[in-house]
Amino acid sequence: MKRNLLIIGILCVMFASCQNKTQTNESAQQNQDNQVVNTIMERRSIRKYKPQAVERDKMDLILKCGINAPNGQNKQSWEVRIVDNPELLNAMKEAMAKGHPDLSAEMVKGCFRNAPTMVFIARDPAYDFSAYDCGLLAENMVLSAWSMGIGSICLGSPVRFLTDNAECHPLLEKLGFSEGYELSLCVGFGYPDESPAAKPRDWDKVKYID
C-alpha cells in the first residue's frame, strides 16, 4: 500500500513538473513570437551611422507612431521638427562649437553622433506634464524605427548647446517652434553602422509591493 502511494506521489510530481515545463516553454514561445516585446528587448542606442538619411516616407511612419503615443488629456503638448539637410546640420554643429569655445570642438560637433536625420522635440512649459508627453512620443519613435531596421539615439547635450548661446539662436529660430515652446529633446535617426551589445539592467530596482 505504502509503495503504491509512493509511486502515485512520484507520478504526480513528474506530471506537475512536465506541466510547468510545458507552460514555461509556451510562455517563452509566446515571447519569441511577440514582435513588440522583441523590438523592445533588441533595441540599442546607435552611435555610428551610415551617411544616408532615412527616407521621408519611412520617417513619416515613424512620426505617425510618435504622435500616437499616450499623452496627458490628449493635449499633444509637443512640437516636432525634422532636419535631414546635411548643410543645415553642419551649420548647427559649427554654431554650437563657436558658442562653446571652452569645450572641445570635436566633442560639440560630434554631439549629433553623425546621425543623418535629426528630430527636434519641443515642449509646452505651460503644461506640467509636457516633458513626459515628449518622452513618450520619442519612445514610440525609436521603437517603431528599430522595427524597420533604423537606429536611433536620444540626445540631451544638443539641447543645451543650441539654447544657451547667441550663435545658435538664428538656427533655433529656423526650426520654427511656436512661441513659448522650449526645445526639450533631440533624437538622431539613421541606418546603423555598428551592432552594440546590450548593456546590463539592474532588476533589483524593480520590486513588487504586497
pTM for this prediction: 0.84
Distances (CA, A) of 193 to 33, 85, 89, 147: 27, 20, 19, 16
Count of CB atoms within 10 A of residue 32's CB?
10
Percent helix, strand and coil across the chain, each rounded to 5? 55, 15, 30
Using a 10 angstrom Cβ sphere, with 0-12 exposed, 13-18 middle and 19 or more buried, the burial of residue 133 is: buried
**Helix/strand/coil for 188:** strand
Q: Which three cell numbers stand for residue 194?
A: 555598428
Q: Tell me which DSSP letter residue 155 carries.
A: E
CA angle 80, 150, 175 (to 5 degrees): 20
Report how far residue 61's alpha carbon sits from residue 145's, in angstroms, rounded to the nearest whole number. 9
pLDDT in tens, the chain (210 residues): 555 555 555 545 455 555 555 555 655 566 678 999 999 999 999 999 999 999 999 999 999 999 999 999 999 999 999 999 999 999 999 999 999 998 898 888 899 999 999 999 999 999 999 999 999 999 999 999 999 999 999 999 999 999 998 999 999 999 999 999 999 999 999 999 999 999 999 999 999 999
Distance CA 168, CA 99 (A): 7
Q: How far apart are the first and last CA of the chain?
A: 44
What is the rounded distance in angstroms from the CA atom of residue 133 to the CA atom of residue 78? 7
CA distance 174 to 157: 19
* Single-letter amino acid code for the residue at 155: L
pLDDT, residue 17, reads 53
